[in-house]
Chain A
């Protein structure tokens, strides 16, 4: 074998090795990208905590109030409340934190009771609860805002609710701007409805 042949073979071998090395690097980088793009349990939990509906139009709510003092029997249509902030609260009378949360909702309602036409509108949604229990609860604890029944859980699902209590804030344009998992407070509601 001549020197030129040997050099040519050597160059060819080196070139091939470089190509293979490049392929190996590309594959390894892709593999790292795949593992890096896997959602960690923490990120999945964070994703769970944040509503996917933030910044999106609120699902429609239509129904007749089953409690809420003077609001009892009143028709509710979320779309017709455009121009006002709306607080949509999912609760149940069998949910202890919901019971503990109620005075805060009541205080927030009373804060805006003088401006019923333009102030924030509250809507409670009773998740899988007896209508009689809900009516008793509002009669006992107060609250003059409309309360809708959600026996099937369809309304809770349409809002992407996960547990109780859970509150969604709908801005005057009908967009969901806030989501609170767990009990709310007057200050949180005031802050969320004054953006």
Chain B
């Protein structure tokens, strides 16, 4: 009877968890769906950001496309599939829980279940033995104590292993597939916003410290790397700034802001127009915001003039 009560409670709790975590697509309005989907779709041209977190032109286009498709009555799954069919599985911030993506999610409960069964069986056998064989236990107390100790040790070891495996699996999936990546991305996004505000408030030192906090959570965050480098360069340390800007380019060669920063640093601080032109060309090829395009084109023209001047000066007899 007691077992039935526990079983009933377990089923009720399980159902509550399932119901609470079940997606409620039908009940949400269009704006909420667009917002939720924008957080699920990865920006095609930015590193590690969803289209909701980026202002890159392709991210803006993606948000508009999501809104159009929601308005057209397409389901969330159809909209996700639209992006996956064009950009592959990497289009989703959280990988689909099917195929290989399902493995981590099956493994954790499996390990916990196995460990639980072993612990349950060990304890049950231990109890039965105590009830059925009191005389034997009395006659060989040392042997049984040692055996029970062994069983408990095994059970504890398996429990520990289950925890380690679970943590390992969850941490392995958080980088590429897990839902906690979104939490981390949100924290990083919050740090980036704070750093942006600190920069606007003319507090570059505070902004650099905040970018460091973002980098502690996401060491390859291109925005934090590039803007930290740019602020350091503005502080009069172009060489040190370039180290961070180069890291941003290394993390994502298609991040236009890093190309912009490197181009200007090479042109203004390093007297290297050739490298500046390379960076400006790379910038212009990456769907840059229209407002920045004219400034870069002008800087590129300046770099070309400087390059021609340098070449003329290098010619013998000139």
Please report the C-alpha to C-alpha distance between residue A52 and residue B90 in the assembled complex, in whole angstroms.
10
Report, as a range, how many residues of chain B touch the other chain. Answer: 35 or more
Restricting to B127-165, which residues have a CB under 8 Å from any CB of A? Answer: 136, 139-140, 143, 147, 150, 154, 158, 161, 165
Judge if B62 is at the interface, Cβ distance under 8 Å.
Answer: yes
Q: Are B103 and A23 in contact (CB under 8 A)?
A: no
Interface 9-residue window, one of A108-116, A157-165, A185-193: A157-165
Restricting to B97-141, which residues have a CB under 8 Å from any CB of A? Answer: 100, 103-104, 107, 110-111, 114, 118, 136, 139-140
Task: Identify B169's interface contact among A13, A31, A95, CB under 8 A.
Answer: A31
Please report the C-alpha to C-alpha distance between residue A157 and residue B118 in the assembled complex, in whole angstroms.
52
Q: Are A157 and B62 in contact (CB under 8 A)?
A: yes
Judge if A118 is at the interface, Cβ distance under 8 Å.
Answer: no
Q: Are A157 and B100 in contact (CB under 8 A)?
A: no
Report the minimum CB–CB distance from B272 to chain A (whole Å).
Answer: 18
Interface residues of A (CB under 8 A from B): 1, 9, 13, 16, 20, 23-24, 27, 30-31, 33-35, 37-39, 44, 47-48, 50-53, 56, 92, 94-98, 127-128, 152-154, 156-165, 182
Judge if B280 is at the interface, Cβ distance under 8 Å.
Answer: yes
Task: Identify A39's interface contact among B110, B154, B176, B284, CB under 8 A.
Answer: B176
Total inter-chain residue pairs, C-beta < 8 Å:
125
Q: Are B286 and A163 in contact (CB under 8 A)?
A: yes
Q: Is the interface of B mostly helix, strand, loop or mixed?
A: helix
8 A-B pairs with the lowest CB-CB distances in the bound complex, closest first: A153-B61, A160-B86, A96-B284, A52-B88, A97-B285, A37-B100, A96-B281, A94-B293
Task: Identify A1's interface contact among B90, B139, B154, B175, CB under 8 A.
Answer: B139
Q: What residue of chain B has the Cβ atom nearest to residue A1's Cβ?
A: B140
Q: Are A165 and B285 in contact (CB under 8 A)?
A: yes
Residues in B with CB closer than 8 Å to A50 are: 88
Please report the C-alpha to C-alpha distance between residue A157 and residue B45 in the assembled complex, in whole angstroms.
12
Known contacts A20-B158, A96-B281, A156-B58: does B65 contact A163 (CB below 8 Å)? no
Please report the C-alpha to C-alpha distance between residue A95 and residue B287 in the assembled complex, in whole angstroms.
8
Judge if B179 is at the interface, Cβ distance under 8 Å.
Answer: no
Residues in B with CB closer than 8 Å to A48 are: 87-88, 90
Q: Are B172 and A158 in contact (CB under 8 A)?
A: no
Q: Are A97 and B161 in contact (CB under 8 A)?
A: no
Task: Identify A128's interface contact among B57, B62, B88, CB under 8 A.
Answer: B57
Please report the C-alpha to C-alpha distance between residue A96 and residue B282 in the assembled complex, in whole angstroms.
8
Please report the C-alpha to C-alpha distance between residue A27 and residue B111 in the assembled complex, in whole angstroms.
7
Q: Are B284 and A97 in contact (CB under 8 A)?
A: yes
Please report the C-alpha to C-alpha distance between residue A158 and residue B61 in the assembled complex, in whole angstroms.
11
Q: Are B104 and A34 in contact (CB under 8 A)?
A: yes
Residues in B with CB closer than 8 Å to A34 are: 103-104, 107, 169, 172-173
Task: Identify A97's interface contact among B100, B173, B281, CB under 8 A.
Answer: B281
Q: Are A152 and B64 in contact (CB under 8 A)?
A: yes
Judge if B300 is at the interface, Cβ distance under 8 Å.
Answer: yes
Residues in A with CB closer than 8 Å to B60 are: 153
Report the minimum CB–CB distance from A128 to chain B (whole Å).
Answer: 6
Residues in B with CB closer than 8 Å to A20 are: 118, 154, 158
Task: Identify B284's interface contact among A13, A95, A182, CB under 8 A.
Answer: A95
